[in-house]
Structure 1
Amino acid sequence: MLDVVIVGAGPVGLFMGALLLQQGHDVRILERRTTRSDLSRAIGIHPPALAELARAGVAGELIAAGVHIRKGIAYSQRRKIAGLAFDGDPAFPFILAVPQTVTEAVLEKTVLDLDPQAIVRGADVHEVRDDFRSVRVAATSPSGGREFRAKLVVAADGAHSAIRQRILPHLPSRSYPDCYIMGDFADTTGHGTDAVLYLEPAGIVESFPLPGGVRRWVVRLGSPDKGTTAEGLAELVGARTGEVPDAAGNTMVSAFEVRSRLAGRMVHRRVVLLGDAAHEISPIGGQGMNLGWLDAAALAPIMDASFAGADVGRRLEDFERARRKAARRASHQAGLNMALGRPLPPSTMDVRNRLFAGALEVPAVAGWVERRFTMR
C-alpha cells in the first residue's frame, strides 16, 4: 500500500509530491494528461511561495530561469500616475515571472529524480473510496483500468476537481462580471522588467515581462470573448494603451471568465483537497498557484507526523483554519484587483487615480499595498 496518492500533476500536485518524497514516503501522482501541457497560464511566483520552494531545493533553477519583477508602474490615458516597488521581502525582493511550463518541468524533474516511477500519466481517476483504513483509487488508462491503494489521497486536480465534486457536490460558486483575454507577444515596450497596469476608462490592461524578451498582455473585456485573434488582441491593447504588440510575434492567446468557490473543509477523513480544488479564486493577481504551494508546505509536515504515529488532530484543525483564512484573504484581494480594473467614466477615473497615486506616496500605505500584492 502506498503512503499517498496525489491526483493531479500540475504545479501544486508536483510540489506536494516532491515534499513527501523528500521525507521518504511512497507516493504516486496520477495525471489524466499523457504529456505535460504546453500552455503557460500561471506565471507569477510571490516571495512566500519562493521561500517554500527554496526550502524544498527547487527555487534556484526557477529564479535563474525567470524575470525578477522589482517594480510595478501604473499608467492612465498615456500618463504615468504611480509606481510601487516590490522590495519588502529581504530574501526575495521581487515577484518572479516564469512560464508555467518551465515551473512544471523543474518540479517534475525534482519528483522523478527522487522516484522515477512516481508520476503515472494517462491515469483518469474515476473513483475514490475511503474505507476508513485506506483509500482505494480507481483510474482508467489507455492500457485499461488501474487501481491504487493508499493511506491518504490528495486531490490537487484543479478548479474543476472531479474529486471535490463528488465530496461536495453542491458547493456553490460565485461569478463575477469580469472577463479577460490574454496573450504573449514579443516585448517592444521598453518597460524592461517592470510590470505595468494601464488603468483605462474602458477597462484595465495589464502587462508583465516574461523570459526571452516576451511580454504578457491581459485585457479586461465587457463580455465573454468570442474568438479574438492575436491581431484583434494587439489592436485592443493598442487602442487602450498606445502600445501595439506585434501580432506576428504572438505565441499564445487565451480567454477566461472569473468565478470563485471556497470549500468549508479541506480535510475529508483520508482525502484532502488542495489548491484550486479547495479554493478557486480569480487569476487576477496571480495568487492561485502560490496559495496551493503554501497549502502543500503546511500539510506535508502534518502528513509526515501522522505516518510516524503522532496524533495530528489539533494540527489538522489549525491547518484548516489557517488555510481557509489565507484563501479568504486571497479571494478578497483578487476582488479588489478586479474592482480596480473595471471601467469608469474618464472624470471619475481621474479622481480615483489621483487618490490612488497620493495614497501610494505615504510610506505606510505603500508598504501595506506591497504586502498585499506580494502575498506577504
Structure 2
Amino acid sequence: MSVVVVGAGPTGLMLAGDLAEAGVPVTILERRTEESNLTRAFAVHARTLELLDLRGLADELVAQGVRVPEVRPHLKGTELVVDLRHPESRFPYVLMVAQARTEALLARRVRRLGVEIVHGAEVTGLTQDAGGVTLSTRDGRTVRADHVVGCDGAHSAVRRLLGVGFSGRSYDTTILLADVRLGRDLPLAINPFVGDEGTALLTPYGDGWYRATVWDRTRRDVPLDEPLGIEEVRDSLRRIAGKGLDVVELRWSTRFLSERRQADRYRVGRVFLAGDAAHVHSPLGAMGMSTGIQDAANLSWKLAAAHDGWAPRWLLDSFQEERHPVGRGTLRITDLMLRLAVPPAPLRLIRPYLAPALLGRPAIARTVRLTLSGLGIAYPVPDGTSGSALAGRRVPDLELTVDGHRRRLYELARGGRFLLLDLSTDGAAAAAGEPWRERIAVVRAEGTAPEGATALLVRPDGYVAFGADRPDTAQVRTALEQWCGAAPSVAV
C-alpha cells in the first residue's frame, strides 16, 4: 500500500513523516516550486507540542520560539488575564514560532526518513476505483496510490475534484496582518486591544518584534490587492489600541479575507481531507496550524494500520467521526471570539462589563484554556469497541519508573505504535499483550494513571483506547483484538 499526500505545509509534512516512520511508502506532491517562508501561522498550542513530543520533535521547536503563558485582553483601560499555564501539560504555554520554522522542522524529518517531495506538482485530476486513486498533474505526471490525503489548503484542488462542499461563509471585515516593531515593549503575553473601531491582536516573537492581527472597521472595504504600508498599520493601531502604542518599523504585511468554512466530509472512499483543506476559520485563537497537525496525527496511524493489514473495518471511518466534530468546534469558538472582538454597536456597549464577568468565572476560564490549547479534546468510543471509562481521553505525560529508572510516558510511546502500559504488581495485562508485540509496545512500570487505572492501552496519537483498574486477561485481549486486530500468532 502507498499514500500520496498533496501539500507540503505543516499538516502534510506531519502526516508524511508519521507514515514513513511506520514503513508506509509515501510521496508528497506540492504545487509550489520551492519551499515556503510563509509566516501567517505563528502559534503552536500545548496539545500540538505534546504530539510533537511523542515524535521527539518538541524540544527542538521550543528552543526556536518564545513561551507565552497568558492572554491579556485590554478593554478600554481594563486589563484582564487568561492563564495558559496548563497544569496538565509539560508545555504550560502557547509557543510563538514562525510557521516557516515549524515547516522546516517537519521537512527535515521527512527527508531523514526518505520521503520524496515533488515540487511544482499541481494536481489537476483525480479518479478512484476499488483498487486505488489516480492523480494527474498540470505538468503531465500520473501518480497512482492506495490512498490520497488532501492537505493542500483552503483552496484545495483535492476537495474540489472530489466535489465535497465547503460549507460556511466569508467574514465582511478584511484582516490586516503585519510584523511590527513597537515603540515600547508589551507584557510577555498575547495582547488583544479591543476598541470601538475594531480589535488589534499583538503577539510577541520574543526578539522585539510582534505579529499584529488587526480587524479595523474603517478599513473593511479596502481591496485585498492594495498594498499595506506602515502608515496604515500605525493609524489602525493608534485608533484601536491608543496613542501610546506606536509602530516604528514594519518588515512584512498583507491583507486577507477570513473565512469560516468546513468540508462537509473528511473522507470520500480512498481520499481524505485534513488541515486547511478541511477547515478554515478566523485567526483569533491561533488554532489553525495546531488543528491541522492534530488532524495528521489522528489519521497517520490509521492509514499505517491499513497498510499493515490489521486495521479494524471501522478505523478509517473514525477519522471523520473524531476530527469533523473537533473542526466544527474550532469554527464555533473562533467565530464567537470574532463576534465579540468586532460586534455590533449594542454589544460594544456592554462588552467591557461582559468579558470580565465571564472570564472571572473559573469554570469558564478553564474551558477557554483547555479548548484553545487542545488539551480538552476527547473522542467518542467507536462502534465496534467495548470502551471503558477512560476511552477517548487524552493521556497525560505520566512520570513512571521502569526497571528502576525514571521515564516519561511520552518518551516510552514514541515510534508510532500502540503502547500497553501495565502498572499492576502481577503483570497480568502485560502478559496478555505478549502475542501482539509485533504491533504494540508493552511496558511494565510503577506509577499512577488517571482514575487509578493499572492498565492503559494508549493509541499512537496519545489517547486512551482502553483503560481499567485491575482488568482481567480477557478484557485486555478483547481491547487488543478490537483495536489491533487478531494477534499475529493466532491470525488466520
On whether the aligned pair clears a TM of 0.5, the verdict is yes
1:59 aligns to 2:53 (yes or no):
no
Cα deviations across residues 251-295 of structure 1 (Å, max 9, x unaligned)?
111111122222232111111111111222222221121111111
Q: Residues 1-376 of structure 1: matches in 2 within 5 Å?
A: 3-77=2-76, 79-88=77-86, 89-115=88-114, 118-141=116-139, 145-168=140-163, 170-222=165-217, 223-226=220-223, 227=226, 228-242=228-242, 243-247=244-248, 249-343=249-343, 345=345, 349=348, 351-376=350-375
Identity of aligned residues (%): 30
The offset of 1:360, in angstroms, is 2.4
The offset of 1:303, in angstroms, is 0.7
**Residues 343 and 131 of structure 1: CA distance in aligned 2, closer, same or farther (over 3 Å):** closer
Larger Rg: 2
Any idea what SS the aligned residue of 1:173 has?
strand
**Residues 113 and 351 of structure 1: CA distance in aligned 2, closer, same or farther (over 3 Å):** same
Contact in 1 for aligned 2:34/2:119 (Cα 8 Å): yes
Letter in 2 for 1:66: G
Letter in 1 for 2:138: T
Structure scoring higher RCO (CA < 8 A, sep ≥ 6) equals 1
The offset of 1:32, in angstroms, is 1.0
Measure, in 1, the Cα distance between the counterparts of 2:133 and 2:208: 47
Letter in 1 for 2:170: S
Contact in 2 for aligned 1:184/1:215 (Cα 8 Å): yes
Deviates more, 1:56-65 or 1:234-243: 234-243
Measure, in 1, the Cα distance between the counterparts of 2:184 and 2:343: 24
Measure, in 1, the Cα distance between the counterparts of 2:280 and 2:37: 22
Measure, in 1, the Cα distance between the counterparts of 2:359 and 2:269: 46
Contact in 2 for aligned 1:204/1:343 (Cα 8 Å): no
The offset of 1:72, in angstroms, is 0.9
Measure, in 2, the Cα distance between the counterparts of 1:362 and 1:173: 31
Deviates more, 1:321-330 or 1:306-315: 306-315
- 2:388 maps to what in 1? none
Structure 1 or 2: larger helix share?
1
Cα deviations across residues 75-120 of structure 1 (Å, max 9, x unaligned)?
123x1331111012431110111111111111111111111x5211
Measure, in 2, the Cα distance between the counterparts of 1:24 and 1:187: 48
Any idea what SS the aligned residue of 1:186 has?
strand
The offset of 1:14, in angstroms, is 0.6
Which residues of structure 2 form unaligned runs of 5+?
376-492
Measure, in 2, the Cα distance between the counterparts of 1:150 and 1:370: 40
The offset of 1:374, in angstroms, is 2.2
Measure, in 2, the Cα distance between the counterparts of 1:30 and 1:287: 25
Any idea what SS the aligned residue of 1:252 has?
strand
Measure, in 2, the Cα distance between the counterparts of 1:358 and 1:216: 28
Deviates more, 1:330-339 or 1:35-44: 35-44
Measure, in 1, the Cα distance between the counterparts of 2:30 and 2:206: 27
Cα deviations across residues 222-244 of structure 1 (Å, max 9, x unaligned)?
32433231221112112221244
Measure, in 2, the Cα distance between the counterparts of 1:187 and 1:112: 38
**Residues 129 and 224 of structure 1: CA distance in aligned 2, closer, same or farther (over 3 Å):** same
Deviates more, 1:129-138 or 1:194-203: 129-138
TM-score, structure 1 as length reference: 0.92
Measure, in 2, the Cα distance between the counterparts of 1:343 and 1:174: 17
Letter in 2 for 1:357: P
Deviates more, 1:364-373 or 1:63-72: 364-373
Measure, in 1, the Cα distance between the counterparts of 2:313 and 2:62: 36
Cα deviations across residues 134-177 of structure 1 (Å, max 9, x unaligned)?
22222234xxx222221111110011001101112554432223
Contact in 1 for aligned 2:159/2:273 (Cα 8 Å): yes
Contact in 1 for aligned 2:194/2:200 (Cα 8 Å): yes
Which residues of structure 1 form unaligned runs of 5+?
none
Measure, in 2, the Cα distance between the counterparts of 1:229 and 1:329: 35
Deviates more, 1:285-294 or 1:7-16: 285-294
**Residues 323 and 348 of structure 1: CA distance in aligned 2, closer, same or farther (over 3 Å):** closer
